[in-house]
Structure 1
Amino acid sequence: MRTAIAAAGAAGLVALAATSASAAGSAAPARPALALVSPVTEVTLNADEEFGTDLNLSTYVVAGNAPIEVRATRADFNSPVVAKQYVKGKPVAMPKGLVTDFSGLGKFLHVTLTDAQGKTALDVDQSLCLNGDGSRTRPDAPATSPYPDYCNSNPFTTGAVWGLQTGWSASTYSYDQKPVKLAVGKYKAKITVNKAYRDLFKIPANQSTLTMNVNVVPGEDPCDPGHGVRGCLAAKGQKAQASKAQPLKANAARPTGKPSTPKGPKPDLISVPAWGMAIDKGEEGTPEAGREYLSFGATVWNAGPSPLVLDGFRRQGADLMDAFQYFYDDKGKEIGYQNTGTMEWDPREGHVHWHFTDFARYSLLNAKQSEVVRSQKEAFCLAATDMMDYTVKNANWHPMNTDLHTACGDHTSLSVREVLDVGSGDTYNQTKPGQSFDITDLPNGEYFVEVKANPEGKLIEGNTKNNTALRKVILGGVKGARTLTVPKVGVIDAP
């Protein structure tokens, strides 16, 4: 199959579909669990002097006569990641060492590039996200896929689900792959599924290796992460995939009847330790110039078993909305509501959308765990940005609001719906001085970054004992050149 696809280029996938069509209505032909394919024999990549080259070679894996499903879990932050393949709904242990984190199947592919003189220019392994960009490849494949749309890179994820539907493809290129350094020129590429996975999925040699020509040309790549866009590029004629998310609509009107908190499932907000921390300096020419800030990322996620659903309804003539939380029974039927505060319009650069007030609070505590600085970030637009644990009960593998566009509305909005679905987290990277801690006048020493979900108790949860997380940090150095040390949390080393 590999030879046919490589020789025929884009016609190869058409031939693959035609073969399947002829078998429709009869016994499915023998197929490996996974096959490595490409619709092209040549790709062109951009060599960006600053960021390097995205190694998107337009290769895909295609599932055979059954779906491929893998679930990875971590018992706690002190435990390693354990992965199991699910075959006909039953877990089967996978060989140790294949999965060590939540980025996908580790070292799935081996990529070698040789230059015009036959010298090896690149020799790397690549992980595979089974949830990568893809689609149906043959007419007898199911019309939809139950699996998530992406893999995860949050350091405090505890459970992930990766899957490839029967007859569906997944791109072997991950948006999280680091760019590589390649000189402008022509190369020969050899892409091979590594032996551990060839053995696991019983992939024959002629469906586990591809060769192609690679042209590296000068110029900035508009899809490079350094330019704010991820995931387009590479094969001739290939287009960037548009976002699948659609804006969520609030109920048509404010809820009526008496507010109530019925019995039944509730959301469970959990804070994880802060991460992505660094010392930043205020920009020259601003009031913050000359000051130093501790920036950080913070995640609050919903362990369920019910989604957190908030509607905001605008007050007449005001940049303020009244917020309502809705409750659902075990079958997903709405059975009650409570007024849970307000949503406010934030016109500042980098925001310009509606925020729910009092979703979380960030504080810097001293060694005695008394607050010394509070972040000015107090209001949030809720969005399911991170897969935190898709193995929990009622986890939604396809949350709709995965970016701010789908949840936060604009200045003319009369209402908005903001949702944090079960299994997903909402991560804020605190990159602006007003949303981080001013440490300019703090002495060196031990501190704690406190992340607290639902600080005023306005949201109704099933459990509030896990709303607070602390992360130790150690400040050193001298004023103007402060240093930061961030100890590990268990086995997780994510400063």
Structure 2
Amino acid sequence: MRKFKAAAAAALTAAALGGAPASEGPLLPDLRQAPVGCPGGTSDDPARCEAWDVCMVADRSAPNGTCLQSGRAGGVRIRFTTSVDNVGDGPLLIYGKRASTKTPTMTSRQAFQSSRDGSIPESYDQAGNPIPATMYYEPAPAHTHWHLMDFERFQLRKPDGTTLVQDRKNGFCLGDRYAVRDADELAHAPRNPDSAEGLLAEFLRENRCRHHEPRALEVVEGISVGSGDDYKYDVDYQWLDLTDVPSGVYDVVNMVNVDRSFLEKSYANNASSIAISVQWPGGLGRPAVISKPPKVELLRSCPGQERCAES
């Protein structure tokens, strides 16, 4: 961590993005939303990905909970792993900062790697304004670190695109958690551990977003080129509530950088989806007393697409 901080401090400049010549402009990240339910970095057929399940829980509103095998349940969830790859030309690098502990959240801003000398200058958006995203400290026992808000979103949709269920998880601690499947094909993936990119990757591999530091005034998180960040299906809020969903066919849609708070090389690959069949036992809707979950079947996987179910 010391080596990264020293290198970053030497590289930081006050130049705004809009003032850089095009030939010396920043190397932008490209966030690719991996197929829903696939482990990070997998090269398997997405239709065979099994990092998802159906879980009956006692408390429908709890962030997590033991999956019930029998007995009366308060709710039913579909849980799934989500993964985001960086396949761009530069790292996604986010700085969070607040003036004092009196402010409960941090304002975040995006930094960019220069194509001229490889440095990583701190910057705002093209208008010179702070990036409209925030970070907050998650005090739950399973987290106790700083989260970037609204980085990924999940939805359950009808085949016509109507949203039935929204996610409840909206905070993420980003780091280099795995190598993407095509890392060797990416020209700007870090290869020299002593370069600015290599030192950043070293930092992000161990990044825990100021773990157990609720009074921190600054935090850094992000994803290097050729790496990705994933959240396993048994982590808090990695689910959508199926309790009131009738039997039918639906899309589970996973999206990254939905409001385009962060600049990317391309936004064309920011969503993936799966089509699922939900069938409650004995009828079209949930029974009055839930003792068995609905049967949920994966029909197809649609990487890079928001629509998967046939309308």
- Settle same-fold status: TM greater than 0.5: yes
Name the CA shift for 1:314/1:486 in 2 (closer, same or farther; >3 Å): same
Q: Deviations over 1:55-90 (max 9, x none)?
A: xxxxxxxxxxxxxxxxxxxxxxxxxxxxxxxxxxxx
Match of 2:96 in 1: 312
State yes or no: 1:300 paired with 2:77.
no
Which of residues 393, 407, 414 in structure 1 aligns to 2:217?
414
Given that 1:364 and 1:450 are in contact with CA atoms closer than 8 Å, whether structure 2 keeps it comes out as yes
Deviation at 1:327?
A: 1.2
Given that 2:13 and 2:121 are in contact with CA atoms closer than 8 Å, whether structure 1 keeps it comes out as no
Give the AA of the match of 2:179: M
Identity %: 25
Give the AA of the match of 1:260: L
Higher strand residue share: 1
Q: Deviations over 1:456-488 (max 9, x none)?
A: 111011111111111112112324321111135
Q: Secondary structure of the residue that 2:17 maps to in structure 1?
A: coil
Deviation at 1:432?
A: 5.0
Q: Secondary structure of the residue that 1:369 maps to in structure 2?
A: coil
Q: Secondary structure of the residue that 2:26 maps to in structure 1?
A: coil
Name the CA shift for 1:351/1:249 in 2 (closer, same or farther; >3 Å): farther
Residues 77-226 of structure 1: matches in 2 within 5 Å? none
Match of 1:204 in 2: none
Q: Deviations over 1:428-449 (max 9, x none)?
A: 1232564411101101111111
Deviation at 1:297?
A: 0.7
Given that 1:363 and 1:449 are in contact with CA atoms closer than 8 Å, whether structure 2 keeps it comes out as yes
Q: Deviations over 1:184-225 (max 9, x none)?
A: xxxxxxxxxxxxxxxxxxxxxxxxxxxxxxxxxxxxxxxxxx
Given that 1:281 and 1:291 are in contact with CA atoms closer than 8 Å, whether structure 2 keeps it comes out as yes
Q: Secondary structure of the residue that 2:299 maps to in structure 1?
A: coil
Match of 1:359 in 2: 151
Match of 2:70 in 1: none
Deviation at 1:425?
A: 1.0
Structure 1: 4+ residue segments shifted above 4 A: 245-252, 255-258, 284-289, 406-409
- CA–CA distance in structure 1, aligned partners of residues 13 and 56 of structure 2: 50
Q: Which moved more, 1:280-289 or 1:442-451?
A: 280-289
Give the greater-gyration-radius structure (CA): 1
Match of 2:293 in 1: 481
Q: TM-score w.r.t. structure 2 length?
A: 0.70
Match of 2:188 in 1: 394
Give the AA of the match of 1:326: A
- CA–CA distance in structure 2, aligned partners of residues 471 and 248 of structure 1: 39
Match of 2:170 in 1: 378
- CA–CA distance in structure 2, aligned partners of residues 490 and 286 of structure 1: 29
- CA–CA distance in structure 1, aligned partners of residues 294 and 96 of structure 2: 42
Give the AA of the match of 2:120: E
Match of 1:277 in 2: 52
Match of 1:182 in 2: none
Match of 2:30 in 1: 268
Give the AA of the match of 1:485: E
Give the AA of the match of 1:464: Y
Deviation at 1:286?
A: 7.5
Q: TM-score w.r.t. structure 1 length?
A: 0.45
Q: Deviations over 1:361-403 (max 9, x none)?
A: 1111112122111111112110111211311111136632235
Name the CA shift for 1:407/1:393 in 2 (closer, same or farther; >3 Å): farther
- CA–CA distance in structure 2, aligned partners of residues 343 and 284 of structure 1: 27
Q: CA RMSD in A?
A: 3.0
How many residue pairs match? The answer is 246
- CA–CA distance in structure 1, aligned partners of residues 170 and 155 of structure 2: 11
- CA–CA distance in structure 1, aligned partners of residues 57 and 265 of structure 2: 41
Given that 1:248 and 1:406 are in contact with CA atoms closer than 8 Å, whether structure 2 keeps it comes out as no
Name the CA shift for 1:294/1:286 in 2 (closer, same or farther; >3 Å): closer
- CA–CA distance in structure 1, aligned partners of residues 61 and 121 of structure 2: 50
Name the CA shift for 1:361/1:286 in 2 (closer, same or farther; >3 Å): closer
Which of residues 241, 250, 253 in structure 2 aligns to 1:450?
253
Q: Secondary structure of the residue that 2:161 maps to in structure 1?
A: coil
Name the CA shift for 1:343/1:368 in 2 (closer, same or farther; >3 Å): same
Which of residues 459, 467, 481 in structure 1 aligns to 2:270?
467
- CA–CA distance in structure 2, aligned partners of residues 424 and 325 of structure 1: 18
- CA–CA distance in structure 2, aligned partners of residues 446 and 260 of structure 1: 45
